[in-house]
Chains A and B, each alone.
Chain A
Amino acid sequence: MELKRASSAIIGAGLAAIAACQTAGGAQRPAVLASSDPETMAKVKAVLSDALGTARIELGAGDPTQTPSITVLPRPPSAYEGMSTAMPTTFDIVLSGGRCLLLRRDTAAAYELRGVACRPLPR
């Protein structure tokens, strides 16, 4: 699994594929965002935009200050697509070594949420 910054630069490796796992490098804990104010969400969207390689980021249902994941909606199906396989992309929010990370669930790639505060998910 790769750990990436918003710039897509790989800055680390070896983190667990899922949020609840632990690695030799330290524990990962499921986390939630400390805030969902516009400034925070703008930073989160910027990271997601880079992660997905698309400028258009529309978040799906759910409150990332309450649940430890964020979903990004696909482009809406056009009127011509009666059989659309489009699915949201899900990222798990974890804390690892004091850093707040987004782990893309389908690829296990990790992206650091720099400047975004997270808190551990209450047990």
Chain B
Amino acid sequence: MAMVKGGCLAPGLVAISAALLTTGCGGSGGTTPVSPPPSSSGGPVWTSGVYAPSSQFKNKCQTVRTGVDIEGNPYPDTQGSTLYENFWLRSWTHETYLWNNEVVDRNPANYSDPVTYFGVLKTTATTASGKPKDQFHFSLPTDEFLKEVNSAPSATYGASFHVFSATVPRDVRVQYTEPGSPAAQVVSGSPNMIRGDKILEIDGVDAVNANTQTEVDMLNAGLFPATAGETHTFKLQDPGGTTRTISMMSTNLAFKPVNRTAVVNTSSGDVGYILLNTFSPYSSEKEIADAITAMKNAGVSDLVIDLRYNGGGLLAVASELGYEIAGAAQTNGKVFEAFKFNADAGNLDPTSGQPNQPAPFFDTGLGFSLANGTPLDSLNLSRVFILTTGETCSASEAVINALRGINVQVVLVGGTTCGKPYGFYPQDNCGETYFTIQFQGVNDMGFGDFADGFAPANSSDPYAVKTDGCAVADDYNHDLGDSNEALLAAALQYRQNGSCPTPPPSAVAVKSVAPGALAIKTQARPDVMKHNLDMRMPN
């Protein structure tokens, strides 16, 4: 399964991205280097188990960058060597990596490429389910990293696509559309695209069966426009089976964190619904606060937060959401998330050297997009319904864990979450930005062991942490926020009488994409506005 906003379809199995996924998400992995080691003349000498401070090796580069980066900061590089870069990685890992005592100490001189060496500087342990404990270890060139975080909104139609099958017979569906976007534009009485639309043709090319490189290139060009102002034609089949052909022009657009809200009237009171797709952009702070205020003004008695496609983002904004759900009485003096670093760090954050301070439930704006100190509204709920899938990740899971940590009842409806209670601070050295897991987030009760995700109580997943709620497969036959949509409907049913739909649908009724069958473009902006790519790794 893969969800893409920028990416490539492959003819059969072209080029794809086992390599990209490995580079972007999984690390360079564990292979033994075969090339000759770099010269160590005049450089540091390895002694097993003895680590000099990483500061001794920082910015001592084989290739020195000169001038300033795209943010205007001078490059800090000085002349060094690959050996110095490797020694920096070794010491930095020892100082800051969460599982530093599980890393085998290998001689840096035996590796001719820092990225390859970094790939082995991680644990090889597995979780209870058998997946690698650290599947989040990777690096990328710093200029790419800076370009991505500083990029403007990119060309899109305003539709999020889900690729159920990247190879023939392909199955690409519309996951949701952005309000006000070309995809949501109403033409002849109906929106250009609706959730669940299956893409049959793009610019006359059979999107299901075409299998030449030229055709696949055309499909990619149409599905993922390179620039604003491109017009492409789509033949679509809607969830009811009706086909239609539409044309859309791409535009530069940033996806909104809060895609939509609704109030569902029930016999036992109104229920609020918020589709929240990311905590990443600064605007998420204000959009969430505005949505909560609207729910408060509407007098809702319960709240459904739809995090099924929310890969996380700013933990502080997630903390604000926790406060906005639970209110002052339940959060006062409580920890939203405390940070567990490696044992050697003691009471310090080893990445900064500063005291390790937990994140509280923030009850005011912090200045991201609400003025610092702006009081936040809260709904003062003792329970909340959260809709989830495997794309519910990181800061989204932190919300679930934090509320459970203060005894707010969290009712999960959907599938098992991704299982990423970890975080990192990206670090540049000599032109490469390294991502190594440095902390585990734990809640007010000290719990944070959900590396195999959270799942509803009746889920068949044997490894996830079980919570109240119902396992339900994602429903592409109804729009998000529609009270007939399977996850929302199950939440409403559970709220009404404590029961789940029977029999429990399988948690995720989607087909996996064959390894290497889908390429995620790295030049098309990784979706800052939406997803944490950490979760897009092959399982």
A and B bind: yes
Query: What residues of chain A have their CB less than 8 Å away from a CB belonging to chain B?
Result: 54-56, 60-63, 67, 69, 71, 73, 75-88, 90
**Distance A70 CA – B525 CA, assembled complex (angstroms):** 30
Check B282–A84 contact: CB distance below 8 A.
no
Prevailing SS type, chain B contact patch: loop
Given A76-B280, A77-B313; A85-B420 close (CB under 8 Å) = no
Check A69–B282 contact: CB distance below 8 A.
no
Interchain nearest-CB distance for A122 vs B (Å): 17
- Excluding A71-B367, A82-B395, 10 further A-B contacts by CB distance (< 8 Å) are A56-B71, A61-B285, A71-B372, A75-B71, A76-B281, A78-B528, A81-B426, A84-B423, A85-B339, A87-B366
Given A61-B286, A79-B533; A88-B372 close (CB under 8 Å) = yes
Check B71–A55 contact: CB distance below 8 A.
yes
Check A79–B148 contact: CB distance below 8 A.
yes
Q: What range describes how many residues of B lie at the interface? A: 35 or more
**Distance A60 CA – B364 CA, assembled complex (angstroms):** 14
Chain B residues with CB under 8 Å of A83's CB are: 312, 315, 394-395, 398, 420, 422-424, 441, 532
The 5 closest A-B pairs by CB, nearest first: A82-B394, A82-B532, A82-B312, A71-B367, A55-B72
Chain B residues with CB under 8 Å of A88's CB are: 366-368, 372
Interface residue B534 (Cβ < 8 Å from any Cβ of A): yes
Check A78–B316 contact: CB distance below 8 A.
no
Check B393–A76 contact: CB distance below 8 A.
no
**Distance A76 CA – B528 CA, assembled complex (angstroms):** 9
Given A78-B145, A85-B316; A69-B532 close (CB under 8 Å) = no
Interface residue B226 (Cβ < 8 Å from any Cβ of A): no
Sample of 14 A–B contacts (CB below 8 Å)? A55-B72, A60-B367, A61-B365, A63-B371, A69-B373, A73-B368, A77-B313, A80-B24, A81-B426, A82-B395, A82-B420, A83-B441, A84-B313, A84-B314
Check A54–B426 contact: CB distance below 8 A.
no
Given A82-B420, A84-B423; A62-B367 close (CB under 8 Å) = yes
Given A76-B528, A77-B314, A88-B366; A82-B148 close (CB under 8 Å) = no
Check A85–B367 contact: CB distance below 8 A.
no
Check B149–A77 contact: CB distance below 8 A.
yes
**Distance A85 CA – B313 CA, assembled complex (angstroms):** 9
Chain A residues with CB under 8 Å of B365's CB are: 61
Within 8 A of A (CB), among B403-435: 420, 422-426, 435
**Distance A60 CA – B368 CA, assembled complex (angstroms):** 5
Chain A residues with CB under 8 Å of B150's CB are: 56, 76
Interchain nearest-CB distance for B423 vs A (Å): 3
